[in-house]
Amino acid sequence: MSPQEVNGAVPEKSTTFRTQADEHADHEETLQNLRTGKYDDWPNEAAFHGLTEERGPVKIAVAGNMPTWAAGSLFRTGPGLYKIDTDAGATFEMSHWFDGLAHTHRFDIIPNEQGSVEVFYSSRRQGQEMMEVIKKQGTWPYYSFGQKADPCLGLFSKAMAAFKGLRESPEEKWHNNINVVVHVNPPGLDAAAGNIAGKRKLAVTENDPKMLGHKPELPKSIWISTDNCTMKQIDPKTLEPIGWATQDVLHPELKGPMSCAHAQRDPETGDLFNYNLELGPKPTYRVFRVEASTGKTEILATIREPIVSPAYIHSLFLSPNFVVLCIPTSHFGLNGTQIPWERNLLDALRPYDPSRKTQWIVIDRKHGKGVVARFETDGRFFFHTVNSFEEKADSDSSDTNLFCDVIDFGSHEFIHSLYLDVILDRDSAAKNFYQDEKRARNSLAHLTRYQFTINPDSPANKLPTNPDPKNHQVFRIPAPHAGELPTINPLYATKKHRYVYSLPFRGRSTLPDAMVKTDTETREVLFWDNPKGHTPGEAIFVPRPGGEEEDDGVLLSVVLDGEKGKSYLLCLDAKTMTETGRAGVDFAIALGFHGAHVPSGRTVTRMEGQE
C-alpha cells in the first residue's frame, strides 16, 4: 500500500500567523467557541475506545520527507485502555483521562541507503496486572489520579480500602498505573533495574528487528514515572515492564509517597533533580540530586514548615545554579492524609482559594547552601514548567536575575475538564462545565514568564516583607497563542530561549486542538493549520546537527485523525511550522502524554548509501 493510500499526500504548506495585537481577540474567540459548543463536531472517541497493542515492530508507510538526521527511536507513553470487561459480566470504565491503563509506543526512524528513512512502529500495554485485578474485583482497588469512587462503597469499606492502600505489598507495586513521562538512562537505579528477572518469563516479540532488516540503536534503560515515588522500568526493545523502584532506593530519607513526574536533568552532567514529599502531621519536601557519574543521591534541601503546604506538583524548574520548587494552589487536604481516604489525588485537593499564593522556593544546587530565596506570586495552578535561565542583574551587583517560564492556569478546576464525560460530552457534560464563565476562563492556559532577583546575602529563611506579586511577572501570553505540553529546543535547556512550542486550546475541541510556535521576544505566533478532527500530541523537538539557529530542527508529534480513526507520526519544520512528512498506521493510537527521542547517531547520507 502506498503512503498516499494510507495517509494521503502531504498537504500544501498551510500556517496561520498572528501577533500580540491579536491576543485578546483570539482569546475571546476561544471562549465564544466554548459558549456555543463549537467542539461538538470534533471527533475524539477513537482516542479512548477500541485501542489495541501492536507489539511489532511493523513497517509503516512514509509520505513526504523525514530528514535522516532525525533518525532514532521516539518513545511515547500515556493512557491506553479505559474499558475492561469483568469476570462478573459487567464493564468497568475509567473516569478520568489520566487514569487510562499505561500504554507505551515506539517509532523507529531508520535511515536507508537511498538517503531517506523507513519508520517502524511498536507498542505494548504496561497495565496487565492492574487489568487482571479489575477483571476479578470489578473495581479499581488502588490509588488513582481521579477515578470516581464506587457509589456503593460504604463508610466501613472506604476506611478499610484506605488502610489497605497504606500497606501495599512489593508485588502490588506492579499494579501501579505509571503512564506519564519517559526517562532515558536515569542515574541511580542500576541496583533496582530488572528486578523482575528470574520471576517471570520475558515475552518475545513476534517480529524480531533483525529479521526485518533493521536494528534500532536503543538506550540501556527506559523508566516511566508518574506523580508519585514509584517508577516502572520497561524493556527498550519489547516495551514490556521488567522492573520497578521507589525513591527510597536512591536515598533512605526519600520515603514520602509523592513526587513530580517531570524530574529535571542537567544538560551538561546528566544529573537528575527531583523532590520527594512526605505527608502527615509535618509534611516534608526533600529536594534531591542524583549524580550521573556516581549514581549517588544528595539531599539539597529539606523543607518542613507550617506555611509550606503539601501540594500536587507535576514539574519543577532547573537553572544553571538553582532548583526551583514552585508550590501552586493545588494543596492537598488534611496535610495529604485525605489522599488515602479519597483514594485519588483529585478529590483530595482542597477547593481553590484565590487568597492562597503561589510559593517559590529557590535551592542552590552548586555550593550546598540549601534554600537561598523565597518569593510569592498570585495563586495559580500549573502542570508544566517550560525552562529556567539566569542573567546577571547588574554589572556592579552580585545579584542574579532568575527567569522561569511556565504554562499556568487561573485555578486547578481545569483538571475536572479532563474527565471522559466532559471530553466526550456525555449528557452535555462539556456544556455544563464550560457554561460557567469564570471556570471556562480559568481553564485556558497562559505562557507566563516570572523574574526573581536572587541576592546571595539576603536571608532565605522567610518570605519577603509585603511582596508585590505583579513585580515578578514579565509577560503572560494567553491561549490560544500558547498551550499545554510545551517544549523547546533541548539544546537551550537552562539557557535563554526564544521559542516555545505547545498545544493550544481554541475551543474547537474538548482537548488541545492545534500546535503553535510562540516567539517570546516579539509575541508573534505561528500555527500549524491541522485539518478539522486532527488532534496533535506533544511535539518533540529534534535539533538539526550543527544548526546555528534556535528553531533549526523538526517537531515530531503523534496525531489522531478522529474522523478516520487512524493516527500518524507527523514531522514539521520547526522554523516554518509546515509539514515535511508523515508516517501513518491503520488504527488509532491513544492520545498520550509525553515522550523522548533517542538519536541513533547513524545518519546515512545518499553518498554514503551509494558507496
Instruction: HSE, CB side, 13 Å, CA atoms: give it for residue 337.
Output: 8
- Model confidence pLDDT, tens digit, residues 162-205: 444 444 666 667 678 999 999 999 999 987 877 764 455 555 44
Could you tell me the CA-to-CA distances from 67 to 63, 107, 113, 225, 610 in Å, in that order?
Answer: 12, 15, 13, 30, 17
Confidence check: pLDDT of 562 > 90: yes
Q: Three cell numbers at 68?
A: 535522516
Confidence check: pLDDT of 584 > 80: yes
If you search the block for the grid coordinates 489522531, which residue do you land on?
A: 560
What are the backbone angles phi and psi of residue 418, rounded to the nearest 5°?
-100, 10
* Letter string b/e over residues 277-288, b meaning 16 or more CB atoms within 10 A of that residue's CB: bbbeeebbbbbb
Please tell me the distance from the alpha carbon of residue 595 to that of residue 568, in angstroms, as a whole number.
Answer: 15
DSSP-derived pairing of the beta strands 594-599 and 579-584: unpaired
Quickly list DSSP for 523-541: --EEEE-PPTTEEE---EE
- Model confidence pLDDT, tens digit, residues 383-439: 999 999 999 988 788 889 999 999 999 999 999 999 999 999 999 999 999 999 999
- Model confidence pLDDT, tens digit, residues 94-135: 999 999 999 999 999 999 988 999 999 999 999 888 899 999
Our measurement of the distance from residue 230's CA atom to the centroid of its chain's CA atoms, rounded to an integer in Å, reads 16
Residues β-bridged to residue 74: 107, 597
